[in-house]
Copies of this chain bind each other. A is one copy, B any other.
Amino acid sequence: MVRKQIKNIPEPEIFTLDCPTQQVLDIVCSKWSVIVIYCLAFGTKRYNQLQGKIEGISQKMLTQTLRNLERNGLVERQVFPVVPPRVEYSLSALGETLVEPLCFLADWTDTHIEAVKSARDRYDTDNQTDG
């Protein structure tokens, strides 16, 4: 059965390592990248503001995530020559185009998170081992 959304797309023979889908998923499909983009969608932030807003992200991971997003042209980093230096991060024009598809994913989450949780509880109950 072919899904409604993709009925007009020929099924790819193979998902190669070179295909754009795999490449872009490497970029945007880290949990932290998505959260940082979503966070910056509300406006420019300093490093410490990001760190304060995103619970559970380590300094190393936040630095890596920002560098990766900057490298891929999604985030812009601006350094102000003051003492101490102030560094601000914002979405680039390209990064802004990613907000809408990510919002669809967030909408899906809001709608379906309870169903996912129930499925997980059922699975864990069915697969629990004694002792």
A interface residue numbers (CB < 8 A to B): 1-3, 5-6, 11-17, 20-31, 34-35, 38-39, 41-44, 52-56, 70-74, 91, 94, 96-113, 115-116, 118-120, 122-124
Contact = CB atoms under 8 A, between A and B. Distances in A.
A15 B55 contact: yes
A73 B119 contact: yes
A38 B115 CA distance: 20
A108 B116 contact: no
Tell me what chain A mostly uses at the interface: helix, strand, loop, or mixed: helix
B72 A119 contact: yes
16 contacts: A1-B44, A5-B99, A5-B100, A5-B103, A6-B99, A12-B53, A14-B53, A17-B55, A21-B38, A21-B106, A71-B123, A73-B120, A73-B123, A97-B108, A98-B112, A104-B104
